Structure 1
Amino acid sequence: MKNNIILSWIEEGVVSIPSFLFSEYKSIGLTDLECMLILQLHAFMEKGNSFPTLEELSNRMTLSLEQCSQTLGSLLTRGYLEILKGHTDQGIYFEKYSLQPLWKKLINHQLLVEKEQTEQQLKLEEGSLFTIFEQEFARPLSPMECETLAMWIDNDHHNPALIKAALQESVMSGKLNFRYIDRILFEWKKNGIQTVDQAKQQGKKFRSHQQKTKVEERKKGGTDTVPFYNWLES
């Protein structure tokens, strides 16, 4: 007897539900009851019944027919569900529920959350830039330097991570000043450098070229050159 029950459960199959729905349904404005009704709809649709009746839905829930109708109507009105209508290839008229509006709301919600997180992280990085610059310069920044740093962010739209990389490049080159850093950022932007990795590769490329030049000059009996790229002379 128990084996028959287990077999019937297995044959009944499973319903695939995006886990994101469980964690975010409240954030997109759904109540527990509405979410459960959507899950019941989804279960019917997975079984091939894309337009279950109010009776079928009500029988699975603690809702009366009237409550089920009201809840469905609210979900349709607020854009969480839609009813698609049409004709089959055989000309038979049909109606069916679609959960696409719900999935779109979830996707848009996630995109908004990610955008807010990115903006928040960017603000934190921008704020820390002033501290990092003052640490490297070993002094408070002047009003003009603060304005320049703000212009790199607001007017030139340089990524804070790239500004930090340009600062590090100037430190490595022994030319710690805002004019030099500004030139580095200008050259990177002109050459399409958008990430820190690309900036590092660019710096490595220039230093490799200077090292080669240094070796050639040694062979010719020339003087040593500084093995760092001089961005102000590019």
Structure 2
Amino acid sequence: MEKALKQFLQAGNMTVANLLLRNYRQLGMNEQELVLFLELSSSIQAGDSFPAIDQIASYMHCDSNQLYQLLHRLFEKKLLEIKSVTDENGKSHDVYQFDLMYEKLFWLLRQKNQQTQQQILVVDQSEIFQAIEKEFGRTLSPIEMETIEQWFSE
């Protein structure tokens, strides 16, 4: 096997949620912060839960100070946190965690789903009003509209 192909295969792959790729702006992230997330996630998925800042900075072709600023912004936006965990040997070490970011992402998804459901409900109600008016052969009176609205709310 060719050396380059072997290196390519050994480098591995990582998984990124499409929901994040399509909504990182709504979370308040810019492209640099997203790339930092991708780099950290890649390291985490490869088994290094707290990669060295210098290593990530070299991957991103920036200096350590810039990277610390990006990390700080992710902390401020409550998208990233550092937790201390104890391994099976009783040794404590730090890990990067993006649980807060995923919680915000799921909240954003729930909010979008609720908006969609509300829009569907409004359309359904409008269609029901139109169907009743068609059956009656006239427009509904304000009292009739109020009665139907009460039915919807019940």
Q: TM-score, normalised by structure 1?
A: 0.63
Q: 2:45, 2:88 → 1: CA distance?
A: 22
Aligned to 2:136: 137
Aligned to 1:191: none
- Write the distance in 2 (CA, Å) between the matches of 1:105 and 1:132: 40
Moved over 4 A (4+): none
Give percent identity, aligned residues only. Answer: 25
Amino acid at match of 1:75: L
Where does residue 116 of structure 2 map in the other structure?
117
Corresponding residue pairs, total = 154
Once the two structures are superposed, residues 9-62 of structure 1 have per-residue CA deviations (whole angstroms, 9 ceiling, x without a partner) of 112211111121111111221101100000000001111111012101100013
What's the counterpart of residue 61 of structure 2? 62
Distance 2:74 2:40 in 1: 12
**Residue aligning to 2:90:** 91
Task: Tell me how far 1:127 sits from its aligned partner.
Answer: 2.3
Q: Give the conservation status (yes or no) of the 8 Å contact 2:85–2:95.
A: no
- Counterparts of 1:1-234 in structure 2, within 5 Å, are 3-154=2-153, 156=154
CA distance in 2, matches of 1:136, 1:86: 67
Q: C-alpha deviations, 1:104-139, integer Å up to 9, x for none?
A: 111111111011111112112222322111011112
User: Any stretches of 5+ residues in structure 2 without a counterpart?
Assistant: none
Higher relative contact order structure (alpha carbons within 8 Å, sequence separation ≥ 6):
2
Equivalent position SS for 2:2: helix
1:186-215 CA distance string (max 9 Å, x none): xxxxxxxxxxxxxxxxxxxxxxxxxxxxxx
Q: Which TM-score applies when normalising by structure 2?
A: 0.93
CA distance in 2, matches of 1:98, 1:26: 19
Q: Which consecutive residues of structure 1, in runs of 5 or more, have no partner in the other structure?
A: 157-234
2:80, 2:101 within 8 Å by CA — same for their partners in 1?
yes
